[in-house]
A and B are shown apart, each in its own frame.
Chain A
Amino acid sequence: MLKDITIGQYYPADSIIHKLDPRVKFVGTMIFIVSIFIFNSFPGYFVAGLFLASMIALSKVPPKFMFKGLRAVFMLLMITVIFNMVLTPGDIVFKLGFIKVTREGLIMAGKMAVRLVFLISGSSIMTLTTTPNQLTDAMERLLRPLNRIHVPVHEIAMMMSIALRFIPILMEETDKIMKAQIARGADFESGNIIQRTKNMIPLLVPLFISAFRRANDLALAMEARCYHGGENRTQMKPLKYERKDYMAYLILIAYLAAAILFRVFKL
């Protein structure tokens, strides 16, 4: 009934990318995003594309999952391309009434499109190969220095992973409640806006009650196991860099250096 939304869309597979330390993947994604703004020419984009394609191949995630994320931003992409095409001044390539398409506009639109596509698929690789828990772990570790200035890093990470964990549960719950009420003749589809809002009550009340109950149960379960925040807390699976992670960092640095060189020498 509810279309599966793609938050925390982890795709389980046995690949080198899946096994990398999540910190590497997080930093790698940042570097990749920065690189597509450093590269400023089509040969440069070719290098970035090559890098992206090899990561997709290594991750063993079927490319169709990568491009699922793109469908969501398709409208944004089209709008960006069209605005860049018609609003950039320069040599006119062709005219359609008052709409003028310029050579500079076409180049600009092409660059924006490439950047957006790379941005989305680049971050998809991270979310598809890393579980939300690994990601929050990585962030907790990377942000640990902020502890010095009294930012409660552990607590923030904990809240994030609980919130992420609850999204699919609440989605499923919504689906079940909707079905139970539809079976009793509820109508969630017709009527005007006021009618429809009113019709949501039989869905929202049980949903909120169940969310509060779950939150309460979780709090009790955590307390029963003597959970308390960050200080002196160790992890069952502490993140530890291995050889492949150092190798990955070397590759990332080489890639970033290539991007800077391309920019400096205006390739």
Chain B
Amino acid sequence: MSIKLENVMYTYSPGTAYEIHALKNINLDIPDGQFIGIIGHTGSGKSTLIQHFNALVKPTSGTITYNGDDVWADKYDRRALRSEVGLVFQYPEHQLFENDVLSDVCFGPMNQGLSRAEAEKEARRALLQVGFKEENFSKSPFELSGGQKKRVAIAGVLAMNPKILILDEPTAGLDPKGRDDILDQIAELHKMRGITIILVSHSMEDVAKYVDRLIVMNHGEVAYDNTPKEVFKHYEELEKIGLAAPQITYIMHALKDNGLPVDADATTVAEAAESILKALKEKGGQKHA
């Protein structure tokens, strides 16, 4: 079970003056059960890339296979694919249309062939999962705040029970607590049900904390594809392409340069704290001796 991209290229408006080569020769293998982060500067092709994973856009050249089958073959059932590979878009206002939140979230499951009652069950579960309050279920989606809309949009895809969940900057526009809540819920889903998560994010802290594989996009190409720890070792190169390592990495490097023997590759605050405590203990021990 996996998504595989081979030599995928994508060009917007080919053959016109406004031609843009958004993706250039992408090769990726997305096996089951991973928690993958995608980072990259604005316009590096992240959103374009993830739309290839559920066959929303057809690559200009190259092939995409899901479980070994070419998704752009004539007979391939792309609707079935899209109910297994859920995609939450960057801007939630693009998909809300119903009179009330609950019906809107039911749209996906009902398209999968569930009855209204079954769909409602899934919708309630999904809404509660993303921390949306029950008392707001019957509100109009257009009366909600930006963050609430975002939650409804995520629930709209979660309710379809996808095997692979792709989220395009799900935390943009959320407050810090809301952001942590949603990411924790997603990490929980990943752990409990083993679904594959692909998270597009601009926050180095978030990806360092949650993902176990990090893909870095730069001008339509994959610049790095490794564990966050390995990727953030290249923090100087990352800066050259408009990115950065998590802030804690910089602190650790500064501490090390100033003579504290810490592990400079720590990428999360928890890891860093542990390493600093250990280093301090060692140092203290030396002084007393």
**A-to-B contact residues, CB < 8 Å:** 1, 4, 11-13, 65, 173, 176-177, 179-187, 201-202, 205-206, 209-210
Contact = CB atoms under 8 A, between A and B. Distances in A.
Contact of A183 (B82, B96, B97, B142): B82
Given A184-B108, A206-B96, A4 B79 contact: no
A183 B56 contact: yes
A33 to B, nearest CB: 25
The secondary-structure label for the interface of chain A is: helix
A208 to B, nearest CB: 10
B286 interface: no
B165 to A, nearest CB: 11
B160 A180 contact: no
8 contacts: A12-B17, A176-B89, A176-B91, A180-B95, A185-B108, A187-B79, A206-B93, A206-B94
A2 to B, nearest CB: 11
B94 A180 contact: yes
Contacts of A201: 97
Contacts, number: 65
Interface centre among B54, B83, B94 (most CB of A within 10 A): B94
A185 B54 contact: no
Interface string B80-105: 00110011010101111100000000
Given A180-B95, A186-B111, A4 B13 contact: yes
B23 to A, nearest CB: 16
B232 interface: no
Contacts of A179: 51, 56-57, 89
A184 B152 CA distance: 13
B67 interface: no
Given A201-B97, A206-B95, 6 more contacts: A182-B82, A183-B89, A184-B156, A185-B79, A202-B97, A202-B107
B16 interface: yes
B112 interface: yes
Contacts of B96: 206
Contacts of B79: 185, 187
A12 B79 CA distance: 39
B245 to A, nearest CB: 32
B217 interface: no
Given A184-B156, A187-B111, A206 B97 contact: yes
B108 A182 contact: no
A209 B160 contact: no
A170 B104 CA distance: 23
B157 interface: yes
A202 B86 CA distance: 18
Contacts of A187: 79, 111
Contacts of A65: 16-17
A209 B83 CA distance: 27
* Across the A-B interface, the 8 shortest Cβ-Cβ residue pairs: A185-B111, A205-B97, A180-B95, A184-B108, A183-B87, A180-B94, A180-B89, A177-B94
B94 A183 contact: no
A181 B110 CA distance: 13
Contacts of B83: 185
Nearest to B56: A179
B142 to A, nearest CB: 7
A177 B95 contact: yes
A182 B13 contact: no
A185 B81 CA distance: 10
A78 to B, nearest CB: 24
Interface in B12-42: 13, 16-17
Contacts of A173: 94
Contacts of A182: 56, 82
A13 B18 CA distance: 12
Contacts of A186: 107, 111
Nearest to A6: B16
Contacts of A181: 95, 107
B107 A183 contact: no
A185 B17 CA distance: 34
Nearest to B162: A183
Nearest to A11: B17
B93 A184 contact: no
Nearest to A9: B16
Given A12-B17, A180-B94, A185 B89 contact: no
A30 B142 CA distance: 48
A181 B97 CA distance: 10
Nearest to B107: A184
Contacts of B94: 173, 176-177, 180, 206, 210
Interface string B128-146: 0000000000000010000
A67 B52 CA distance: 32
Contacts of A13: 17
Contacts of B13: 4
Contacts of A4: 13, 16
B90 to A, nearest CB: 9
Contacts of A206: 93-97
Nearest to A1: B57
